[in-house]
Structure 1
Amino acid sequence: MAVERDNMLIDWDVGITMDDGVVVRADVFRPVAEGKWPVLLTYGPYAKGLSFQKGYPSAWQNMIASHPDVAFGSTNKYQ
């Protein structure tokens, strides 16, 4: 069941069954407004709920130093 938060509909831990029967989990973020929207996808085998800046602080600092526009105007709460 989707929860509305920060002007998004969020479904946490949605089960996705793979061809071999293994179930993986995803968090799905959608706009509240109806319409067609582009899809952004990120994936990895570990730490689905770990924010980049907390899990990889030195990599975060290097990225922000090289590309400050990445974090401009965002809390990065869901990044």
Structure 2
Amino acid sequence: MGMCLSCLGGAGEDGVVTPDPETRRRQLAEAAEKRQKETAYRGVKNPEGVERKRKKQEEIEKTEMTTSGSGGGGGLKWQVG
């Protein structure tokens, strides 16, 4: 049946038009990012909360590294006596 569409004049133009390569590449990249986010947060009710927690934890670790690296002592104190 697809063979007779070409003889109807203009019916062949209704087919799917593929976008230019740059647009297609961008769409594929967006789809891949969306799939990764969905996979990463599968089963999580509040993905924004998880992201905030992760960033807060990274900040805490970063401040601990800078504090301990500058002679802060690592939080342990020696007591004699």
Task: Please give the TM-score of this superposition, normalised by the length of structure 1.
Answer: 0.21
Q: Point out which structure has higher relative CO (alpha carbons under 8 A, 6+ apart).
A: 1
* Bigger radius of gyration among the two: 2
Structure (1/2) with the larger helix percentage: 2
